[in-house]
Structure 1
Amino acid sequence: MTADAIPEEDGRRSASVVFKAQADGLASAEDAEVLAGLGYKQELRRNFTMIEVFGLAFSIMGLLPSIASTLTYSLPAGPVGLVWGWFVPSLFIFFVGLAMADLASAMPTSGGLYFWSHYFASPNTRNALSFLVGYSNTLGLIGGLCSIDYGFSLMLLSVVVIARDGEWEPSRGVIYAVFLACILCHGVLASTLSKVMGKLQTVFVVANFVLIAATVIALPIGRADQRNDAAFIFGKVDNLTTWPAGWTFMLSWLSPIWTIGAFDSCVHISEEAANATRAVPYGILMSIGSCWIFGWIIVIVIAACMSPDVSSILGSAYGQPMAQIYYDALGKRGALGFMILMFIVQFLMGLSIVVAASRQTWAFSRDGALPFSSFFRPISKTFGYIPLRAVWGCVFLGAVLGLLSLIDSAAASALFSLGVAGNNVAWGTPIFCRLVWGEHKFKPGPFYTGKFSKPIGWIAIVFMVFGTLLAMFPTGGPNPTVGTMNYTCVISVALWGGSLAYYYIDARKWFTGPRTTLDADELSKDQQDALRDEGTTIEGIKPSSISGGGEESSPVVITKSQDNQPRD
């Protein structure tokens, strides 16, 4: 149910919805009205400004730590893979952001991706696709949380390795212990700092830029007599894999694909953003654009200041190629200092993605799609109108999934790849549904790309399909061993196949897409008619309450029993 289903004369939502949101200090009248048009009450407090929405996405991307963590993808192609392997795919990622921004401005809700998929898809596919997108997005975000916190544990422990001159190597158990302590700490902070979480995003952005500026200044000074020339930076091609050189360059695209992958967090914070129809789309584009530009500056500086012997960087005894680059330029103390700054910023990334993941989890629970939805659904007023149970649900699941890191690095990498493959499906499906089935239903918001909207959407879809396939290739070569195999295809197919199997075996009996949380007396007649046509559920309200007639005049929808569980 969306605002465009309601004629202009019925555009004013019930005063009780708007006034209650204002009285509780949750939202402005405009934001509460837009959300009511999508069928939802205002339940979260809108603490985030446009800059803070941008800050959430940018801090999750954690530009320099993410580049450092993904050098193993870009450096095998040499400086060309590092520099141009960043610039070119970042352009295509910006197209994805533009396509998502169009939808986010028109329909800003925390569960945006699966909500849009359901609204734009054909009647025969909408429930299944919405279910698939919701699970892909939820588990993709939790996989991203695991990846960030696992990267934090490696960076923190690399400081110990550098301090011991490379003569100590952490066991998998030690790595997991640091990971577990980190993710639990994130749960505590995400629970207790909710009232200032928006303002903290500005602090996190500043911390990111301090690290970027310090690196961009320090590395050229430290390598003043050994800097590489422009021909090396922009034209030197290497191939440290057994793939053809051209495909090794394509695999270098995985660095920006992994790094610039959190812009959908702006969508998930929609119901906590002031002036969401503008703040969310601009937050998406500002975060991608900043990473594109400043990331390119960073990789150029790295290419200028790194050792020409790329294999020695990738085989560093310190466990992190970036640690070796810092060490070569700044010595032991300089490397220690920058790696400490690096893991601090990485820690802040993890805190921000807990916020984003919990909002998606809460939104999906609000629509009754997750196991134990009635448990995760409540909002905690005590802790500042946040989905407290959803926060800890994400933390707990992340801690359990992180146990795969105890097996080996290949298993951990496969799990964390959900952040690419799972999210690409979640991002691409609503765009595809809009272009193929729902273009006639799309009513632009304040941000709109106009006549370029359709070609932008198709470019985005083609790129995401390619990026998903790219993420499934073994990065070392075409004949991987058990230890070097990329198991992304196994994990991703299990996620998508499992989600669809769950839907067709059981969930199709009760999942009918997004549920309206407004009461019947808060709906205009045209909203009621649109709900009836869409088959959208209203919490606690039977079909006859909204049909304006008998139950025969309305399709079967899911209602809730006294125990708040879905039933036919």
Structure 2
Amino acid sequence: MLVESEKKMDETDGPLCPEKGIGAMKAVDIDAFRLADMGYAQDMTRNFSTLSILGISFTLTSSWFGFSVSLVTGLSSGGTVVSVWVIPLMAFISGAVAVTLSELASSMPNAGGQYFWTTQLAPKKYANGLAFLCGWVSWVAAIFTTASSALGLGTLLVGVWQLTHPDFVPQAWHSVVGYLVANLFCSLFNCVGQLLPTIATVSMYISLVSFLVVLITVPATSGSYSDPKFVFATFTNSTGWSSSRLAFLVGLINPNWLFVCLDAATHMAEEVKSPEKIIPKAIMSTVAVGFITSWVFCLVMFFSITDLEALLTTSTGVPILELFYQSLKSRIGAAVLGALILATGFRCQVASQTW
């Protein structure tokens, strides 16, 4: 079908675009013809580049941001040892998922992603029903992921405020208000589609710069460091469950959250040229960069812990802020580093809503 479409395009190139020639017309419309072979019309504008698609994917995943926000669960459910050893495992599993997504995106680049592939690959008798179910599951996953990210931002906002106002006592409803503010603010950026490619690219750079600043500042200002046994071989169960196995399973939330939304780039297939090449690159690069940043960040932060109990019982409700305070010995300095995480988080939320 694709070959036939390309032949038809060759035949009509001259009359349609005589001043540009066949090569230019083919470069512009080959993606539209490919989409037409799948039964879809080209409605979206292909204004995303390779870098901006990678920016959307990486910013949405933001593994080091995910580690920072979900650290409260990881530390109480297994301590440092779970994150240190499970992050490489989750990266390997996510890599396998990414390879599969990349192969499908290369073969059938379509914004529908999983539900479209299901219609093409499932037995014809069950294809429509399975695709319908797959589409709803994907949509619900996107909703919960966006809500989860917004709640993390809301909690972090309240934590930064408490850090700079020690007499303030956070309540549950404060985090809900922060959740609503973060969600509403980030939704404004998605009201202007033309800005999204630029926002995605800038967001990726801001995330990487913020990562480097935090990565260098915390160990440089920390007065003492944890011993390797604490980081690599100390299991902590502060969940209230008597079973360490159950605590371990709960603790998997922290490293697992670092690699969510790997399919985000696949849903941008109709907004980038040559998606069969660019989308797989974005997916695989997201896993690679996510693993490197999150694991290095994890090790550096854990070696900088001087008082684990203080992190678990911090009045901010956000252990990473207490860790910053332990290292810098300054509430303002810790709040500044917290603001860098917030900056990354807001851009993650924008990308999640775009997804």
Q: Shared fold (TM-score greater than 0.5)?
A: yes
2: CA distance, partners of 1:52 / 1:83: 30
Q: How many residues are treated as equivalent by the alignment?
A: 343
RMSD: 2.4
The offset of 1:258, in angstroms, is 1.5
Secondary structure of 1:103's partner?
helix
**Cα distance change on mapping 1:180 and 1:249 into 2, 3 Å:** closer
Partner of 1:153 in structure 2? 154
Letter in 2 for 1:57: S
Q: Does 1:127 align with 2:128?
A: yes
1: CA distance, partners of 2:218 / 2:349: 26
The offset of 1:240, in angstroms, is 2.6
Letter in 1 for 2:110: T
Asked if the contact 2:190–2:354 (Cα under 8 Å) also holds between the matched residues in 1, the reply is yes
Partner of 2:106 in structure 1? 105
2: CA distance, partners of 1:226 / 1:275: 51
2: CA distance, partners of 1:32 / 1:8: 13
1: CA distance, partners of 2:157 / 2:229: 35
**Which ranges of structure 2 fall in alignment gaps of 5 or more residues?**
none
Partner of 1:254 in structure 2? 253
Asked if the contact 2:146–2:349 (Cα under 8 Å) also holds between the matched residues in 1, the reply is yes
Structure with higher RCO (Cα < 8 A, 6+ apart) = 2
**Which ranges of structure 1 fall in alignment gaps of 5 or more residues?**
1-5, 357-568
Note the alpha carbon deviations across 1:145-191, whole angstroms, 9 max, x for none: 1111121111111111111115321451x433332233223232211
Specify the structure having the higher radius of gyration (Cα).
1
1: CA distance, partners of 2:41 / 2:10: 12
**Cα distance change on mapping 1:73 and 1:355 into 2, 3 Å:** same
**Cα distance change on mapping 1:62 and 1:131 into 2, 3 Å:** same
Note the alpha carbon deviations across 1:407-460, whole angstroms, 9 max, x for none: xxxxxxxxxxxxxxxxxxxxxxxxxxxxxxxxxxxxxxxxxxxxxxxxxxxxxx
2: CA distance, partners of 1:233 / 1:13: 63
Letter in 2 for 1:325: L
2: CA distance, partners of 1:249 / 1:222: 31
Letter in 2 for 1:70: S
2: CA distance, partners of 1:308 / 1:328: 8
Partner of 2:337 in structure 1? 338
Partner of 1:463 in structure 2? none
Asked if the contact 1:307–1:313 (Cα under 8 Å) also holds between the matched residues in 2, the reply is no
**Cα distance change on mapping 1:10 and 1:213 into 2, 3 Å:** closer
2: CA distance, partners of 1:16 / 1:61: 44
Partner of 1:531 in structure 2? none
Letter in 2 for 1:112: G
Letter in 1 for 2:289: S
| Superposition misfits of 4+ residues, deviation over 6 angstroms | 15-20
Asked if the contact 2:106–2:279 (Cα under 8 Å) also holds between the matched residues in 1, the reply is yes
Q: Does 1:227 align with 2:228?
A: no
2: CA distance, partners of 1:96 / 1:33: 28
2: CA distance, partners of 1:55 / 1:70: 22
**Cα distance change on mapping 1:167 and 1:185 into 2, 3 Å:** closer
Asked if the contact 1:326–1:338 (Cα under 8 Å) also holds between the matched residues in 2, the reply is yes
The offset of 1:17, in angstroms, is 10
Letter in 2 for 1:198: P
Partner of 1:285 in structure 2? 284
1: CA distance, partners of 2:3 / 2:338: 56
Letter in 1 for 2:170: E
2: CA distance, partners of 1:102 / 1:17: 31
Asked if the contact 1:56–1:266 (Cα under 8 Å) also holds between the matched residues in 2, the reply is yes
Asked if the contact 1:85–1:250 (Cα under 8 Å) also holds between the matched residues in 2, the reply is no
Aligned-pair identity (%): 22
Partner of 1:239 in structure 2? 237
The offset of 1:46, in angstroms, is 0.9
1: CA distance, partners of 2:242 / 2:38: 49
TM-score w.r.t. the length of structure 1 is 0.57
The offset of 1:214, in angstroms, is 1.0
2: CA distance, partners of 1:265 / 1:92: 17
Letter in 2 for 1:261: V
2: CA distance, partners of 1:17 / 1:136: 42
Structure number with the higher helix fraction is 2
